[in-house]
């Protein structure tokens, strides 16, 4: 089965991008959020988050994997 990158529907803080990335790489979402906050402090992270929120699809409701 092929892994797919989705934004999370449950347990998300803003748009679910960090939670989706954490699930894809099998990491803790808090770690991804901290890394993203550090990148956002440089200025380019906020734009990258908005782009990811627009491009990455939401996880389907019927997908339990």
Query: What is the pTM (predicted TM-score) of this model?
Result: 0.79
Asked whether the CA dihedral 11, 6, 49, 26 is positive or negative, the reply is positive
pLDDT tens-digit map of 24-40: 999 999 999 999 899 88
The DSSP string of 17-60 is HHHHHHHHHT--HHHHHHHHHHHHHTSHHHHHHHHHHHHSPBPP
Confidence label for 44 from pLDDT (cuts 50, 70 and 90)? confident
Using the predicted structure, report yes or no on whether residue 16 has a pLDDT greater than 60. yes
Mean pLDDT of the chain: 86
What is the rounded CA–CA span in Å between residue 24 and residue 44? Answer: 22
Confidence label for 11 from pLDDT (cuts 50, 70 and 90)? confident
What is the rounded CA–CA span in Å between residue 16 and residue 22? Answer: 10
Residue 30: closest CA among 15, 11, 54, 10: 11
């Amino acid at each position: 089965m092929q892994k797919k990158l989705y934004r999370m529907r449950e347990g998300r803080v803003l748009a679910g991008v960090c939670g989706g990335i954490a699930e894809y790489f099998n990491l803790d979402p808090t770690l991804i959020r901290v890394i993203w906050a550090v990148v956002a402090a440089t200025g380019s992270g906020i734009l990258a988050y908005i782009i990811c929120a627009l491009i990455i699809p939401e996880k389907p409701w019927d997908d339990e994997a």
